[in-house]
Structure 1
Amino acid sequence: MAKRNGSSTLSENVKKKLQSDILTGQYEPGAPLKVLELAKGFEVSVAVVREALTRLATQGLVQQNPNHGFSVKTASEEELNNIIQARLINESEALRLSIAYGDLTWESIVIAVHHKLSQTTEYKEVNEKLVVREEWSEIHRQFHYELIAACPNPVLLDICSNLWDLSEFYRHCSPQQQQVRDGLAEHKALTDAVLSRDGERATQLFRAHIQLTAEVLFDNQ
């Protein structure tokens, strides 16, 4: 671990690493998260690990049971449906506000991150299975966040960020297949609508983009 600058810093480091591992499918849904083993692996105290896991539990990525400790959240089609519905409502509004309030600096960031996403390969093959590359996943997250980053409502942005994490959990715990969709074209059209300040078209494209992703995830459940 990094230099010990206090338990809160250590806890944040552990939280970020565990969150990344969960969201990229390093742990199966429902897998136990043993505090002692994690503490040894991270070379930190049990208290630090417990704090990190408790914070992940508040985000919905970890389940906490008084009798059985901590485990990765389980997956359900009902929850996925609720997450998609919430994203459509909240992220659409955040996108509309971002387009209304964004300045030229925001536009330049959107252009840059879209270019980076378009030049990054999405899948890699591991043990004869397709998996989403971590680099692409992180840039994809950044792309969608930057689209709404100019939204002046920080509470709404926090909601969108938490919903993204939950939807990413489902993306990575679903069997990956090379999809019959043109993700590059979808992202390009969405970027063009945003930069044209066409809020109505941008939200329509965003909703179609998320609904298509939902259909793919439901088919893989």
Structure 2
Amino acid sequence: MSKDVINPYDALRTGLIWGRWKSGERLIPQHLKAEFGCTSSVLREAMLRLAGEGFIVSEKNQGFRTVTHSEETFCEAAHLRLILEREAATLSLQKGDFDWEMAVTAAYQKLAYVEKQMIETQDVQKYVRHWSIQDWEFHATLMSACGSDLLMNAYRSAFDTFRMYAVSTYANFGFGAEITAKEHLDIYEAAIARDVPGCMAAIERHLTLYQEGRRSGAALSSKLPPE
């Protein structure tokens, strides 16, 4: 039976945002081709696309590496993410219908379930991939009724840049256990109540804690555990 072909662009980008590779780590084409079941040209196209988006870097005669994360880039991404999320979430709370409420509730419940497992088992690495996916789904669903694809696309880029720094720099991939779970609950409850000021304040608290180093486990500077 032939091996299923994996979309290398999606696989690489997803891996980057949940901390599969360390900051500045070399990406080895031979290993990735075998894993994704794709050709060299398809893999290179995916890498060039990611390089153009600023998620990896191309080095002459040395191939591709993940970006070396800096605090300056992180602060820029966090600031941009906050601006975009506040704008899109405000519009969603104002325009979202019953189907939107159900979608937000479902997304929150999945995120809360994963976070509960992470807290109870104290095994963040086991769940970090699922957590990264559900974290994105929750925030994206929260903003999904804003009515602007352009706004959502810009937010995705800021979110992924923010996430790549957080997972490579903070203890436990940036998961702050009960702190993070409470922040997401506060955002969810305010959103469902259509409490725009309360939701905006909860979103700001959620992002500000990272920048101020008050997340559970302060910055660790490239101390990710091995695969």
Are residues 122 and 55 of structure 1, via their aligned partners in 2, closer, same or farther at CA, if it must alter by over 3 Å?
Answer: farther
- Measured in 1, the distance between the counterparts of 2:23 and 2:34 equals 22
Q: Deviation at 1:64?
A: 1.8
- 1:28-177 equivalence runs, <5 A: 28-120=22-114, 121-122=117-118, 130-131=124-125, 133-177=128-172
Q: Secondary structure at the match of 2:194?
A: coil
Alignment identity in percent?
Answer: 27
- For the residues of structure 2 that align with 1:180 and 1:22, how far apart are their CA atoms? 21
Residues in 2 aligned to 1:175 and 1:213: alpha-carbon distance in whole angstroms: 9
Query: For residues 121-153 of structure 1, what are the alpha-carbon distances to aligned partners after superposition, in whole Å with 9 as ceiling and x for unaligned?
Result: 236667xxx535222221111111111011111
What 5-or-longer segments of structure 2 have no aligned partner? 222-227
Partner of 2:12: 18
Instruction: Give, in whole Å, the separation in 2 of the partners of 1:188 and 1:86.
Output: 22
User: Partner letter of residue 15 of structure 1?
Assistant: Y
Give the 3 Å change call, closer, same or farther, for CA 18–98 of structure 1 in structure 2.
same
Q: How many Å apart are 1:203 and its aligned residue? A: 1.0
* Partner Cα distance (1:192, 1:208) in 2: 14
CA distance in 1, matches of 2:185, 2:26: 40
Q: For the residues of structure 1 that align with 2:60 and 2:118, how far apart are their CA atoms?
A: 39
Aligned length: 210
Q: Could you say which residue in structure 2 is the equivalent of 1:196?
A: 193
Specify the code of the residue in structure 2 equivalent to 1:200: P
For structure 1, which runs of at least 5 residues remain unmatched after alignment? Answer: 4-9
Q: Which amino acid letter does the alignment assign opposite residue 194 of structure 2?
A: R
Rounded Cα–Cα distance in structure 2 between residues aligned with 1:180 and 1:165: 21
CA distance in 1, matches of 2:40, 2:57: 17
Contact 1:122 1:137 in 2 (8 A): no
Q: Could you tell me the TM-score, scaled by structure 2's length?
A: 0.82
Q: Deviations over 1:72-119 (max 9, x none)?
A: 111111111111111111111111111111111000111111122222
Q: Counterparts of 1:143 and 1:202 in 2: how far apart (Å)?
A: 14
C-alpha root-mean-square deviation of aligned residues, in Å? 2.3
